[in-house]
Amino acid sequence: MMSLLLGSLPPAYLTAELLSSIERLCSAVSSDRFISDEIHRYLLYNFRLWVPASLKIQNSIFDKLHVAIKKKFVSSSVVSIRYMLRLLSTQYQSSILPPTAGTGGGGRSSHMRGRILETIRILLYDPESWAKAQSQRKYQLNSIIMGVSNSVNSMGVSFDAARTLIYSMLGKATFPQGNIDDTIKGTVVSEAEMDAGAIPEHVAETDIPDLLQILVDFSVTPATQTEFLSIFERLGGLRIWLPLISTANAQVRRMTLRLLRTYIVIKCDSYPNANPKPSLSAVDVRMILDSLHVAEFPLQMGSFNELVSLVLGIEYGDPTADPFALVSHDHAEMLADNILLTSSIRHPNMVVPMLELIQKCHLHVRWVGLECFKLLLSDDNVEGALNRRVFLACYATQGYAPYPVEVFFASFVTDAPQLPASDNSFAEAFSSVSTTGIVLS
């Protein structure tokens, strides 16, 4: 009843005093966990009520929520990954958020979506990890005072939370047992069944890149890397991500390839003393590249850069090797020449399939591909000589005709797919190159 009353109030009444009153009410019944959870669920952390409130009020609620999660003051049944995903795809969108003083709807949406993503990051950790982290910080402080070096401390990752997030992005039910028929799902499913994971959680396609970036960050953070990669293995490895590659959304494809690159590079580098070095198998390569469906969904420059970085085994997070981190997904820059000149082919099984993939791409991607391979096979350095040997060996071991140079150039001179008349991809990718008189086909 109180939730309905608050929901009917004008935004001007959603003040700090009202928030303080709800907190006092929650403190008064803190001994009764059931009533306390109800107040948390329907009043204090019911962000559907607080969306019209000022940014200051909402930031205050998020700050209190983050402290409550870390100290286990709030139940996981009240605030969960699923609840945050629903808020991300519904309430906190620029198209429906009201503007505030000095801040347009878009800026407000971006800020509040950042707070939602921050909450999801916190929920991915195991609840016991925060107490351990607090004690570790005290130990580190004493160690610094005593002049003792510290090793990297691990943070536990919740398998259930990670599985919920990953399955929600993939459109899979977390616990599909007893799942009802799709034709009647909309009329009989309760919120309790949705929270239990009986049906897939809807995640907007525009939200998936931000969620994938969270997974990438967890994969490269030393405190969570080992445990998070083991979760990937338990859930099926790289194969579970193939549906997200087979989509027309360029941002989703690029971020999925970035996650796979991170997973594969770290996985192969986890055996530093192995001889020969582990590399991606031919089956896995074909599985990834065939899932791109470039004939149906043309390959964009952002995705192409991720594939080249994977071929070379470039780790994500190196700013010198990742110049396309903050630019458009469709027309990202090439890797720097010095990176291509000093890099060795890390996954030989990708060379021939990559050339076949380039053969199906548009002209501007072929142009970039030709430039990349020209630098990789350069005769100006030792790496180029090694790459040429790998290149020739790829054709020999995979049973191709003994004319690798001819086959190589054939990948670039065959007819390219026709671009729409209004498409200016080539001009945007190569602004310094005049396209006057060139048929961009």
Look at residue 302 in the predicted model and tell me its pLDDT: 87
Is residue 241 scored above 70 in pLDDT? Answer: yes
SS (H, E, C) the chain: CHHHHHHCCCHHHCCHHHHHHHHHHHHHCCCCHHHHHHHHHHHHCCHHHHCCCCHHHHHHHHHHHHHHHHCCCCCCCCCCHHHHHHHHHCCCCCCCCCCECCECHHHHHHHHHHHHHHHHHHHHECHHHHHHHHHHHHHHHHHHHHCCCCCCCCCCECHHHHHHHHHHHHCCCCCCCCCCCHHHHHHHCCHHHHHCCCCCCCCCHHHHHHHHHHHHHHHHCCCCHHHHHHHHHHHCHHHHHHHHHCCCCHHHHHHHHHHHHHHHHHHHHCCCCCCCCCCCCHHHHHHHHHHCCCCCCCCCHHHHHHHHHHHHCCCCCCHHHCCCCCCCCCCCCCCCHHHHHCCCCCCHHHHHHHHHHHHCCCHHHHHHHHHHHHHHCCCCCHHHHHHHHHHHHHHHHCCCCCCHHHHHHHHHHCCCCCCCCCCCHHHHHCCCCCCCCCCCC
Is residue 244 scored above 90 in pLDDT? Answer: yes
Among the residue ranges 26-35, 166-175, 323-332, the one predicted with the least confidence is 323-332
Band the pLDDT of 441: cuts 50, 70, 90.
Answer: very low
Q: What is the pLDDT of residues 327-353, one digit of tens each?
A: 444 445 678 888 899 999 999 999 988
Look at residue 8 in the predicted model and tell me its pLDDT: 78
Look at residue 323 in the predicted model and tell me its pLDDT: 46
Is residue 43 scored above 80 in pLDDT? Answer: yes
Q: What is the pLDDT of residues 349-395, one digit of tens each?
A: 999 889 889 888 888 888 888 889 889 988 888 899 999 998 888 87
Q: What is the pLDDT of residues 269-298, one digit of tens each?
A: 887 777 778 889 989 999 999 999 998 898
